[in-house]
Amino acid sequence: MGLCMHLFDRAFRFVLPAGGVAVLLTVLAVGWFTQPDRFAKGYAPEQPIPFSHELHAGTLRMQCQYCHSGVDKSRVAGIPSVDLCMGCHKVTRTDRPAIQKLTQMANSGQPLLWQRVHTLPDHVYFDHRPHVNAGITCQSCHGEVQTMKVLTREMGMRMGNCLACHRDPHAALPAGSKITRGAENCAACHR
Amino acid sequence: MKTRLPEHGPLETPRFWRTLEERIETPEAQQAAHDEFLPGAIPPSFNMGPDYNDVHGLPPQSGVSRRDFLGLVSAAAALAATVACDRKGQGTVVPYTKRPVEVIPGVANYYASAHQEGRRVYPVLVKTREGRPIHLTGNDEHPGVKGKTSPRTMADVLRLYDPDRLRAPKASGRVVSWAEAEGHLHAALTGAKAAGKPVLLISGAVASPSRKALLADLKTALPTLEHLAYEPAAGDAVEVAALASFGQAVDLQPRLAKAKVILSLGADFLNGEDPEALGAWGAKRRLKSAQESINRLWVLEGPLTLTGTNADERVPVSPSRLGAMAFALAKELAGKGVALPAGTDLSGVSTGAPAEIPQATWASLVKDLKAAGRQAVVLCGAQMPAEVHQAAHLLNAMLGSEAVAAIPAEPLATVKELETAVQGMAAGRFAAVLFWDVNPAYTFPQAAAWKDAVAKVPVRAWIGQVEDETAAQCQLLLPENHWLESWGDFSTPSAAVLQQPTIGTLYDTRQGEDVLLDVLKALGAAVPDGYHAYLQARWKKELPFGTSFEQALHDGLVKGEAKASAPSFKGASVAAAAKRAAASRAEGLELVLFPGFATHDGRHANNSWLQETPDPISKMTWDNPVAVSVQDAKALGIEEGDLVNLSLDGITLKLPAVIQPGQAQGVLALALGYGRTTGGVAKGMGVNAFPLVGLEPASTHVRSGARLAKAGGKKTLSRTQSHHRMEGRDLVRSLTMDEFAHDPQGHHHRPELVTLYEEQRFPDHKWGMVIDLAACVGCSACMVACQSENNVATVGPEQVARGREMHWIRIDRYYEGELENPKVVHQPMLCQHCDNAPCENVCPVNATNHSAEGLNQMAYNRCVGTRYCANNCPYKVRRFNFLEYTAFKTEPETLVYNPEVTVRPRGIMEKCSFCVQRINDGKIRAKGEGRAILDGEITTACMAGCPSDAIVFGDLKDPKSKVSQLVAATRAYRVLEELGVKPAITYLADLKNPALEGGHHEA
C-alpha cells in the first residue's frame, strides 16, 4: 500500500509536470520551427555580383520592368540576362571589380549564378501577369526593393499570404480598381 | 545479463532441441539459426523475371529485409528532420548570358517544321519552352492537315529525348571523332569509285525534293552507287499494282470531302495516319440535323480495322477473295452501263454476287456506287494483294472518281529488290553498304540470310539514332539528328513543306544529309557547306516572287505547288489481274500482317508513350498477340491469352492469341513492329512478325497457308479494356439516319433528377465539352496529345495488366450485335467534371473539389492517396500513382515535360484537369488585353489533337459558344445521367448510315 502511494506521489509530483513541460516544449519548438516566415523573412544571401537595387531602382529610378521585362508577358518576371547589364556597363563604372567580373562573364558566356531570394512552396504555379496587370505594385510582395542595398526577402510567400490578399485585395490594389476578390479555387495556382 | 561464450572451442551442447539437425549441429543448422529467411523463403517468382507470376495480387517484393527497411525508414526520417531544420539556401537562378531575342522565359515559342513517316509528310507546329520542344500539333496553315497530325507524330517528340540515342560516332565499337569516322567512310567510297565497285545505299522513302537532288548529286559523283528506298510496312503490292495500272509509282490519296460513297477493300484510311482524311470524314459526320447530307462507308475486309469499326455496312471477307469480288463489282457496274476504260477486258470475270456477300447487300452496293458516280471512291488497303489494288484502280477509273488523287511518287524498292541486293552482298559485289534510317536486319524477312550476306561487305556504315539490329552488324556508326534538330523540305500535294531545327543538337550528332554532303566533298564535288546552305540555295531559286526563305520557314510551307498531271489508267493491265484474282484462294488460315498501330514498322517501338497507347481495336498495349476470329477460336479451342504456335513456311512463332469479334473466318491478323532485340523500351516486347512477310511483292503482307495450334500455357494480356459490354446501360448511343430524323432520343428519356445538394452556381464561366461520337473514329490521337501536354506517366506492361495505366483520357470501345460482325462505337472517356461530383464528397482531406468555373480540381499536394475518390467515380477516370513512375527520371528524359504541369509522384491521385493550365493562361491573356475570352481560343490538348474535330471545348455560360449550341443538339446525351452527378461533358450519339435499313437513301 505504501509502495503504491509512493508511486502515485511520484507520478503527480514529477512525471506529470515533466511530461506536461515536455509536450509544451515540443509544441512550441515545432511551432517555432515551422512558423511560416521564420526562414523567409530577412533572407538576404550573398550574391555573386553585389548588385544594389537601392542604387538602380532607388537612386537612378530605373523601372523594375526595364530588367524584369517578363513580368507582364510571362508567368515569371525573369532575371535580366548579362548582356542587358552590359548595355550600360560597357561604359559605366568599368573600373569596379564587380563590373569587370560581369564583363568577363559576358565575354566568356560563363553563367551567372544568382542566389534565389524569392521562392514559392512546391506545387504552386504563380503567375505575375494578372497581378501586375491589375496594378498591384511589385513592393506589395517583394518589399521596398528600391531601398535595399542587398535584396532581402520580406514575405514568407506562403498560401496564407496569397489568400489574405485574394480575400481582401484593397490594400494592394490601386485606388479605383474594380477588383474585389482574387481567385480562391485550387486550380488557380495548383495544377 | 549476457552469457559469455567461450572464445575458442565448441559450444556446449544445447539442452533443448527441436530437430535432429539442431541436436547434432550440422553446418546447415547453424547457418539456419543465423539466417532468419532462408534462400527460397521468398518464392523465386517474385523476381519479376519474364515468367513473373502474381501471387495473391501482392505487389512484387523488392528483396529488402524488414530490418533493412526499418533502418532505412529511420535514417530517412532523421535525414528529413535534419534537412527541415536547416536554414537552407533557395537554390540558384541562372539568367541567359545572352538572351535570344525571341525567347521570353516562361512563354512558349512555336515553330513550323515537318515529320516524315514513309511517304506521308506531317507538317507540324512545334511548341518549345526555353528552347526545348515539348509538344507537337499539326501546322494550322497547311491547307491539307489544317492543324492536325497523327498520334505517332505527336509522340515522336519523346524520341528526341530518348536516353538510348547514340551520342557520338563509333568505329568498330570504339567512340571516335566525326573526322575519324567520316575518314573511314570517305576512304571506302573513294576506293570503291576508283575500283568501279558498286556501293549500296538503303534509305527510307524519299519525299523530300532536296534530299532527292542530293541523292542525284551523289549518284553523279559516285556512279557505282545503288540506292534502294525501302519501307518495310508500306506493302510492296502498292508498288506492283501502281506500276501495272499507271506505269509508274503513284501515291493514291483519298479526298474524302468529295466522296458520298466510299468502298474500302481492306483499307484502313481512318487509322489516324492521315489527318486530312480524318478531317474530311469528321466534317461529313458531324451532322446538326438529319437533313444534312452524310456519306456512306462500305467496308469489305478480313481483320477488323478502325475503318471497319466506323463502317455503315461491313462484310467480313477473306482478303484473298477481295480481288475477285472487286472485279465482279466492276463487271456488274459495266453491265449496268458504267463505261470501262479503253482496253479493259473483263471477259474472264464471273458475273453475279460472290458467295460471301448476301444478295441484297451486293445489289445495294452496286446501286450505291453507280448512283454516286464521280462522288464514289474505292480505296484499297496497302497490305492487300496487288490484284485488289488493280481492281480498285479500275473501279475508280470507271466511276471517274473525284475523291482520290493519284500523285506521282518516288518509287519504293520491293522486298524482291532487297533480296537481289542480299544476293549481291553475299556474292561480294559491293565494296561498301550504307544504311540510312532503316533497319533491314530487323525488317528483312530472312534475317539469317541477311546477316550472312551483310558480313561479306567490307565496309558497313549506319546512320541512325538508336543503335538497332542493323547497327549491330555495322562497323561504322554515325549518329543522326532527330528531325526536330534537322533541316529539310518535303512536297505535299497542296504545299511544299519546310522542316527546320527547333533545338540545337543534344549530342555529337549530325543529320544524314550533312554526312552525304561531306561524302560528296570527299569525292571532289563542289557543294555548299552543310545541308542548310544546300537547302537554302535550292529554295532561293524555287520560291515564288516576293516570298523570302525566312517567311517560308516561318510558315513552314510554300502554298500552291504546281500540280503534276495525273497518270492515266492502263486498261490492258486488267485481264491478267482479274485472272490472278479469280485464282486466288486461301489454303489453311490466311495471315494478314499489318503495321503496328503504335510501332508502325518497329521504328517507334522504343517510344513508351506509343507502346502504352492501346491498340484501338484489341486494346492491347506493349504486345502484338495474334488476332483470331470468333469461329476459328471456337474450332481450335483457343481462349483469350492462350499461347499458340503460329506456323507458316517452316517458321513458327509462339505468341498469345486474342479473339477478335468481327474478324472474318479463316483470317489471322498480326501486327508488325514488335519483338525488337535492341532499345531499352522496345526490347522483348511482343514478337517479330517480319519473318512471316512474303518474298513475292504482289502479296507480301497477306499470306495463306498459316497454321495455328495451342502451345500450352497462357500469357497475362496487358489490355486496358477487357470488359466489352455495357451491362444494359446506354453508355454509348448509336442512331441510324432514320432514327436521327424521327426519334433521336429513342426510348431514352431524360431522368428527372432530385438532389439534396444546393444547385452549383457559376458566376463567370462554366467549362464544358461536347464529344461527337459520330465524328470520333477512335484513332487515339487525343490520348497521345494529352500524354504529352499533361506529363502523363507510362507504367509498363505488368502494371497495365493490373489496370494501373495512367491515361487521363481513354477510348472505350463497345461492340453491339452478333460476335461475327458487330457494330462498334468508340467513346472517349475522361473526367466528366460533374457538378455533383461523387469523388468530391468522399475525399477525407478535400484534395478534390469544385471550382467556381465548373472544374473538378485536384490538388496534388493535399492528396494523401486514400483512393476513395477513384472508388466512388462512376466513370472510372481517376488514376492513382501506385508506384513511383517519375522520380528516377533524369535528363534527357525530363526535358520533355511540360513545365506548366506538376509531375506527379507516388501515392497521388490524378485525372483530367480540362487542361487547366491552358484555361488559366487564356484567361490571363484575355484579361491582360482587356477583352473577353474568345470562343475557341482556349483549347484542351485532346481537342487540338483530334483530327476529326469530334471534341469541342468551351464556356457553357456563353450562349453563343459552339459548345453551348452543341449541348442543345438533338443527338445530345450525358453518360449515366440518371445518377444525377450532372457531368459537364455531353456526348452526341453516334450516327450510322446503313444502306439496307434505316439509312439516308438519297446518299
What is the mean predicted confidence (pLDDT) over B64-79? 81
- pLDDT tens track for B348-375: 888 888 888 999 999 999 999 999 999 9
- pLDDT tens track for B176-204: 999 999 999 999 999 999 999 999 999 99
In a domain, A107, yes or no: no
Partner residue opposite B924 with nearest CB, options A80, A105, A130:
A130
A to B CB pairs, distance under 8 Å: 127
When comparing pLDDT for B726 and B864, which is higher? B864
Distances (CA, A) of B517 to B177, B498, B525, B530, B540: 17, 19, 9, 7, 19
Residue from B158, B184, B156, B157 nearest B169 by CA: B184
Are residue A64 and residue A135 in the same domain, yes or no?
yes
Please count the residues of chain B.
Answer: 1003
Chain A nearest CA to B846, separation (Å):
10
How far apart are the C-alpha atoms of B285 and B308, rounded to whole Å? 16
Q: What angle do CA B459, B465, B469 make, to 5 degrees?
A: 60
Chain B nearest CA to A117, separation (Å):
7
Q: Is B763 on the interface with A (CB under 8 A)?
A: no
Checking if the pLDDT of B423 tops 90, the result is yes
Structure confidence at residue A1 (pLDDT): 58
When pLDDT is cut at 50, 70 and 90, the band that residue B752 belongs to is confident
- pLDDT tens track for B491-523: 988 889 999 999 999 999 999 999 999 999 999
Mean pLDDT of chain B, nearest integer: 89
Structure confidence at residue B404 (pLDDT): 93
Q: How many domains does chain A have?
A: 2
User: Minimal Cα distance from B861: which residue of A?
Assistant: A123
Are residue A132 and residue A177 in the same domain, yes or no?
yes
User: Minimal Cα distance from A128: which residue of B?
Assistant: B924
Cell for A67? 530588367
What is the mean predicted confidence (pLDDT) over B309-316? 95
Q: Is A147 on the interface with B (CB under 8 A)?
A: no
Partner residue opposite B93 with nearest CB, options A69, A114, A185:
A114
Partner residue opposite A72 with nearest CB, options B105, B857, B928:
B928
Contact check, Cβ <8 Å, A114/B95? yes
Cell for B487? 533541316
Checking if the pLDDT of B7 tops 60, the result is no
Contact check, Cβ <8 Å, A190/B902? yes
- pLDDT tens track for B846-901: 999 999 999 999 999 999 999 999 999 999 999 999 999 999 999 899 999 999 99
Contact check, Cβ <8 Å, B97/A112? yes
pTM over 0.90: no
Structure confidence at residue B877 (pLDDT): 94
User: How far out from the chain centre does Cα A48 lie?
Assistant: 19
What is the mean predicted confidence (pLDDT) over B132-150? 94
In a domain, A36, yes or no: no
Structure confidence at residue B34 (pLDDT): 54
User: Minimal Cα distance from B926: which residue of A?
Assistant: A130
Contact check, Cβ <8 Å, B104/A130? no
Q: Is A105 on the interface with B (CB under 8 A)?
A: yes
- pLDDT tens track for B152-165: 999 999 999 999 99
Contact B731, B814 (CB under 8 A): yes
Are residue A15 and residue A67 in the same domain, yes or no?
no
What is the mean predicted confidence (pLDDT) over B239-243? 94
Q: Which residues does residue B595 pair with via DSSP β-bridges, in sequence order?
A: B672
Are residue A63 and residue A126 in the same domain, yes or no?
yes
What ipTM was estimated for this complex?
Answer: 0.86
Contact B301, B381 (CB under 8 A): yes
Q: Is A78 on the interface with B (CB under 8 A)?
A: yes
Contact check, Cβ <8 Å, A187/B94? no
- pLDDT tens track for B99-130: 888 899 999 999 999 999 999 999 999 999 99
Structure confidence at residue B11 (pLDDT): 42
Which of A33, A75, A104 would you mutate first to test chain B, the one with the most B CBs within 10 A? Answer: A75
How far apart are the C-alpha atoms of A185 and B762, rounded to whole Å? 12
Q: Is A127 on the interface with B (CB under 8 A)?
A: yes
Contact B812, B891 (CB under 8 A): no
- Most trustworthy range by pLDDT among B25-29, B725-729, B834-838: B834-838
Are residue A148 and residue A180 in the same domain, yes or no?
yes
Partner residue opposite A114 with nearest CB, options B92, B862, B913:
B92
What is the mean predicted confidence (pLDDT) over B579-596? 90
Contact B667, B381 (CB under 8 A): no
Q: At what angle do helices B512-522 and B178-195 cross, to 10 degrees?
A: 50
What is the mean predicted confidence (pLDDT) over B617-646? 94
Please count the residues of chain A.
Answer: 191
When pLDDT is cut at 50, 70 and 90, the band that residue B46 belongs to is very low
Which helix or strand (DSSP H or E) is residue B82 part of?
helix B66-85
Checking if the pLDDT of A87 tops 50, the result is yes
Are residue A135 and residue A69 in the same domain, yes or no?
yes
B634 three-class SS: helix
Cell for B737? 439516319
What is the mean predicted confidence (pLDDT) over B318-343? 92
User: Minimal Cα distance from A132: which residue of B?
Assistant: B928
Checking if the pLDDT of B59 tops 50, the result is no
Q: Is A26 on the interface with B (CB under 8 A)?
A: no
Cβ neighbours around B598 below 10 Å, total: 29
Which of B82, B87, B92, B109 would you mutate first to test chain A, the one with the most A CBs within 10 A? Answer: B92
How crowded is the C-beta side of B653, counted as CA atoms within 13 Å?
Answer: 24
Chain A CB contacts of B98 under 8 Å are 81-83, 106, 109
Question: Considering chain B, what percentage of its residues have pLDDT values greater than 90?
Answer: 77
Checking if the pLDDT of B309 tops 50, the result is yes
Partner residue opposite B99 with nearest CB, options A75, A83, A110:
A83
How far apart are the C-alpha atoms of A118 and A68, rounded to whole Å? 14
How far apart are the C-alpha atoms of B620 and B618, rounded to whole Å? 5
Are residue A57 and residue A23 in the same domain, yes or no?
no
Contact check, Cβ <8 Å, A190/B104? no
Structure confidence at residue B51 (pLDDT): 45
Checking if the pLDDT of B329 tops 80, the result is yes
Q: Is B91 on the interface with A (CB under 8 A)?
A: yes
Contact check, Cβ <8 Å, B861/A110? no
In a domain, A123, yes or no: yes
Structure confidence at residue B353 (pLDDT): 84
- pLDDT tens track for A92-110: 999 999 999 999 999 999 9
Distances (CA, A) of B636 to A148, B303, B647, B657, B782: 83, 18, 15, 12, 38
In a domain, A151, yes or no: yes
Grid cell 557543294 is found at B527
Contact check, Cβ <8 Å, B88/A39? yes
When comparing pLDDT for B748 and B1, which is higher? B748
When pLDDT is cut at 50, 70 and 90, the band that residue B746 belongs to is confident
- The domain of A20 spans 1-29
User: Minimal Cα distance from A109: which residue of B?
Assistant: B97
What is the mean predicted confidence (pLDDT) over B460-482? 96
Contact B374, B400 (CB under 8 A): yes
Checking if the pLDDT of A9 tops 90, the result is no
How far apart are the C-alpha atoms of B567 and B564, rounded to whole Å? 9
Checking if the pLDDT of B842 tops 90, the result is yes
Contact check, Cβ <8 Å, B98/A83? yes
Question: Considering chain B, what percentage of its residues have pLDDT values greater than 70?
Answer: 91
Phi, psi at B798, each rounded to 5°: -65, -40
DSSP B900-939: TS----TT-EE---SSHHHHHHHHHHHHHTTSPPPTTTS-
Chain B CB contacts of A112 under 8 Å are 94-95, 97
In a domain, A57, yes or no: yes
What is the mean predicted confidence (pLDDT) over A124-141? 94
Partner residue opposite B98 with nearest CB, options A73, A81, A114:
A81
Contact B271, B260 (CB under 8 A): no
- pLDDT tens track for B255-299: 999 999 999 999 999 999 999 999 999 999 999 998 999 999 999
The strand ranges marked E within A16-156 are 114-115
Checking if the pLDDT of A187 tops 60, the result is yes
Q: Is B85 on the interface with A (CB under 8 A)?
A: yes
| Domains within chain B, CATH numbers bracketed | 10-41 (no CATH), 170-234+412-488+504-543 (3.40.50.740), 236-408 (3.40.228.10), 586-714 (2.40.40.20), 734-749+763-992 (3.30.70.20)
When pLDDT is cut at 50, 70 and 90, the band that residue B207 belongs to is very high
Are residue A71 and residue A25 in the same domain, yes or no?
no
- pLDDT tens track for A29-75: 988 877 666 667 888 999 999 999 999 999 999 999 999 999 999 99
Checking if the pLDDT of B548 tops 90, the result is no
Structure confidence at residue A70 (pLDDT): 92
Cell for B514? 550533312
Residue from B604, B668, B696 nearest B418 by CA: B696
Contact check, Cβ <8 Å, A82/B97? yes
Cβ within 8 Å of residue B177, ≥6 positions away: B169
Q: Which residues does residue B643 pair with via DSSP β-bridges, in sequence order?
A: B656
Q: Is B10 on the interface with A (CB under 8 A)?
A: no
How far apart are the C-alpha atoms of B616 and B151, rounded to whole Å? 12
